[in-house]
Amino acid sequence: MTAPLQVSMTLALGLDPGTATTGYGLVRQYRDGSLEAVDFGIITTPKELPASERLDLLYQELNQILDRFHPETSAVEKLFFQRNISTAIGVGQARGVLLLALAQKGLDVAEYTPNEVKQAVAGYGSADKRQVQEMVRVLLALPEIPKPDDAADALAIAICHLNTNRY
């Protein structure tokens, strides 16, 4: 008698960093290449809090997600040039907190530019946001486009990472 086949799978966490709103998306990939959305959402921090407290809240919330789901791999969107320097600094600080939390859990972290994510998900590095969101919906067999946009972006980052790691 042969044992039943075990379906190997990988759970990836994608993160779209921001101080006010950080999107997260957990995607499971099965041996046959199919994808499943496990969970997605946003982590928000109140504007009235000092930056240090907002970053601490982001850190705590991400650790709760990591402890709940135990992803095997992770990916974070790379910081790209922004015209608004204060926005870029805030995103950079949030990225630092996210990278620290992931490293402390022993997760490998990949980083992708927005164009790399668009290419991997929609097949075109200059795809618009709506095209990428629709492909996320299709690839994950969701009834509608994930909301809010930051969560959809995080799912796209996780899909990009899983597709990139397959090869």
DSSP letter, residue 159: H
| C-beta of residue 26 within 8 angstroms of C-beta of residue 39 | yes
**Residue 109, token pair as written in the block:** 């972290």
- What is the distance of C-alpha 38 from the center of its chain? 12
Token pair of 16 as six digits: 């779209």
Q: What is the full DSSP assignment across 65-114? A: HHHHH--SEEEEEPP---S-HHHHHHHHHHHHHHHHHHHHTT--EEEE-H
Please list the active-site residues.
16, 77, 150
